[in-house]
Each structure stands twice: as structure tokens, then as C-alpha cells.
Chain A
Amino acid sequence: MADATTDQAAKDAEDQSPEVDELRQGWLDVLTDALGDAVVGSHIAPGRVLWVRVARASWFEAAEAARERLGCTFFDFLSAIDWMPSPWGRYEDSAVDVGVKPFDPSSSFTTGVAGGDTRFQLLCHLANVRGRNGQRADVMLKTDLPDDDLRIRSLVPLYGGANWHERECWEMFGVEFDGHPGLRHLYLPSEFEGHPLRKDFPLLARLVKPWPGIVDVEPRPAAADEEVEPATADDADGAADGNGDEA
């Protein structure tokens, strides 16, 4: 599963060298010497965002370091990404019209920036908005959560704002936060089962109603027997890659 990430890290390294963003490089160095080898991966989009991926165990320490060392007192948001492609198909080709592409977990999927090898990845953005340590800074912390044990330490003791974000993340992805004052449902009714934002959670609205765009131009009524070339699938048809050829 992790083969995709090795070339990913290599690609990161070489595209970083052309213009090194020394500002973010500085923040990265501050964090690396604070966390040591807990910093597993990092990526800099020059002039835009600094991603730092830390090991799951030192998630709390990473946030603490960002807060003390970089002065990131502003808690922007915390969420998760489910990297598995959706087995329910893409865009409008809902299961009713097109055979479901069964997803086999063994097939590899690429994870995003700054590497990562598990399906669930936690994401948190902290910022130093008052420019206390002389300079405004912001860092995007990432960490990987193994599929079988979605547990991590809660950031509520550090930031009050983490309370709601973690409740939403627990509700939508099923990530357990140890030490959270009250993991209750935030948006969904109390007897809701399942975690909606996981990719394998079906979006029922799309499965119930047949997609009106699936209909195609019927052949000429008089010449039903003569050979009919597939429907005129011009390039726009590529959007729904599964449905062009039934006539």
C-alpha cells in the first residue's frame, strides 16, 4: 500500500529545491528540532502553505510546539481526509445505471501532499495571527491513523476551539479523541449510525433518483435494424465515463 508514497516523497524533494521558501523552512526547522524524529514528512508550497506530518503518538506535542515555539495561538480548524476512492463511482454515474466498480482495498491509492500511507489522515491548521514572536506563521499539521485503531489524543486542553471540530470529526469519520470532555453528536440526530464523510458511505440522494443525464438520443425509429454506431459521445461525455455505450 505504501509503494506510491516513496516516489511521492522524491517528487516533493526535487520540486522544493527550485525556490526555497526560507520563511517556511525556518518554521519547519523550529518544529523539527522541537519534535526530533516525530516529524515524519513535510512539504512546502512556496509562499503558501507549510505541511508537517507527525507521528500519531506525538500529535499533542506537535500542537504544543507550534503553540509555544511558533506562537500559533489561533486554532483554525481540524478535520480528516479519507483517501480511499469512493466505491460508489464518481459524479453522476450512480449505481443504478452503471455497474458498481467494486473497490478492492488492496488496490493502492495515492495520498496527498507530504506523503502518508494509511486511509485516514487527520488534518489541523494552526496560525499565529498576532505576529507575537515577531512574525505571523501558520502550519498545517497532518498525522496518519491506522484503519483498525482510529484513536488520537484530543487537543481540547490546548485549544478550546478543538472541542466542536473534534466532535464533528468523530461524528463524520469515527476518529476517537481521548480526553475529549464530551464526544456527542454535533450535527446528526442521536440515533444516527455510520460515519457519513467516509468514502464508503453511500450518498442515497444520488442512488434513489435515476440520473436524467443518462438518457441518450434514441436511434432513428424507421431504421431500427440497420447497424447503429455508438451514441455520439463527444468529449463532454467523458464526464460520466461509464454510460456512453448502451444504445
Chain B
Amino acid sequence: MAKFPAPKAPGLVKGLGVTLKTMMKTTFPSRGMKTLIPAPSIGAATVQYPHEKEMPAPRARGVIALKEENCTVCMLCARSCPDWCIYIEGHKDTAPPRRPGGKPRQVNKLDRFDIDYALCMYCGICVEVCPFDALFWSPEYEYSELRLADLLHDKDRLGEWMQTVPDFEPYEAGSEQKVRKVPR
């Protein structure tokens, strides 16, 4: 078996050393010349939330945004949601033909698209399974409500989140994934 590291200086003193060193590093963060001026708010690792905000990663799954134009009411997201928290209602409608003189197209119109964020577990299956790129992730996280019922976002509230959806990032070297585009 490996030899176990007997503590050189008595452990009790080294322990005190660690806490003192951290205190010094927090109160006097090393900033070249200005190190001697105590600046704990820079040295500390914590973020004072309401005043300073930490931006989550662009891929963070904060809230789901809906691009209504792309949605064809295929119900795939509602069916594959494990928590049963997507409620969709739609009806069939005719749309003007693409080419002048052509036959009027059969199109599904979306009446209701609610996501109940009180039940949602942010797994992302709906965003992934949507074949028509209508659902996107946005790293927005500040939408808590006083009443639980307000957590049911309807279709235009989900549409508002579309502006907060960041562009997809480029990939690491050696990856063969192509960068998708967010339909603005």
C-alpha cells in the first residue's frame, strides 16, 4: 500500500494557516500594486445577487420560448413530455395557396399553447423532439410568480421569450456538428 502522508508540521497549525491564508486572500486580493488596499468585495467568491447578476451559460435551460409561426400543431412535444405539462389546442384551417391559382393549403392553426412551469422539469425533450424548430431554450431565469397559477405561460408569453434566446455558439475544434440558426 502507498505510504500515508504523515503531516510534517502539526496538522493543527497547518489548519490555522489555511484559514488565515484564505482570509488574507479575500481581504487583500492580489492586484499588482493595489494589493495592499483591502478590497474584500473583489476578493470574495460570492456575487451579491440583487446588485450584481451572474450571466448563466448561453445553453442554460432557463425557460422555453415558442416561435409560433413554425408550429404546425403536430402535438409531438405534448406527447413526449414526461411531466404532461404542455397543453395544446389547434384547429385546421385553409391558407392562401403558395403559387397563385394553386389549391388552398390545409394548415393547422394554433389556438392554445400553454406550458405549466410549475410542473415542468426542464428536461428539454420537447425542444429536442420538435421537428419544425418552433421551441428554443433561453437562459432567462427570473420569472418567479407569487401565485402558482401564474406559472402557466400562454402562447404569447412564450413568444415574448423568443427575444431572449441567444444565438447558438460555434463548436469546439474537431466537431462535425453544424451550428443551427435561431429564426429571429
Contacts and interface: CB of A to CB of B under 8 A. Distances in A.
Given A211-B84, A212-B86, A213-B84, A220 B94 contact: yes
A191 interface: no
Interface in B25-40: none
B90 A212 contact: no
A217 B89 CA distance: 7
Contacts of B167: none
B93 A216 contact: no
Interface in A210-224: 211-213, 215-221
B73 interface: yes
A211 B80 CA distance: 11
B152 interface: no
Interface stretch (A7-15, A27-35, A110-118, A233-241): A233-241
Given A211-B84, A212-B86, A220-B92, A240 B79 contact: yes
A218 B81 CA distance: 21
B121 to A, nearest CB: 14
Interface residues of B, number: 20
Contacts of A92: 79, 84
The A contact surface, by secondary structure, is: loop
B90 A218 contact: yes
Interface string A199-215: 00000000001011101
A234 B76 CA distance: 10
B66 interface: no
Nearest to B106: A220
A218 B78 contact: no
B84 A215 contact: no
Contact of B91 (A212, A219, A240): A219
Contacts of A209: 84
A236 B79 CA distance: 9
B182 interface: no
A236 B92 contact: no
Contacts of B74: 232, 234, 236
A212 B92 contact: no
A239 B86 CA distance: 17
B105 to A, nearest CB: 12
Interface in A63-84: none
Given A209-B84, A211-B84, A216 B92 contact: no
Contacts of B73: 217
A240 B79 CA distance: 9
Contacts of A212: 78, 81, 84-88
Contacts of A218: 89-92
A221 B91 contact: yes
B78 A215 contact: yes
A213 B75 contact: yes
Contact of B75 (A216, A219, A221): A216
Contacts of B91: 217-221
Nearest to B91: A218
Given A209-B84, A211-B84, A219 B92 contact: yes
Given A213-B79, A213-B81, A218-B89, 5 more contacts: A211-B84, A213-B80, A215-B78, A216-B75, A217-B90
Interface of A: 92, 209, 211-213, 215-221, 232, 234, 236-237, 239-240
25 contacts: A92-B84, A212-B84, A212-B87, A213-B80, A213-B81, A215-B88, A215-B89, A217-B73, A217-B75, A217-B90, A217-B108, A218-B89, A218-B90, A218-B91, A218-B92, A219-B91, A219-B92, A220-B93, A221-B91, A232-B74, A234-B74, A236-B74, A236-B76, A236-B80, A237-B79
4 nearest CB pairs, A to B: A213-B79, A220-B92, A213-B78, A218-B91
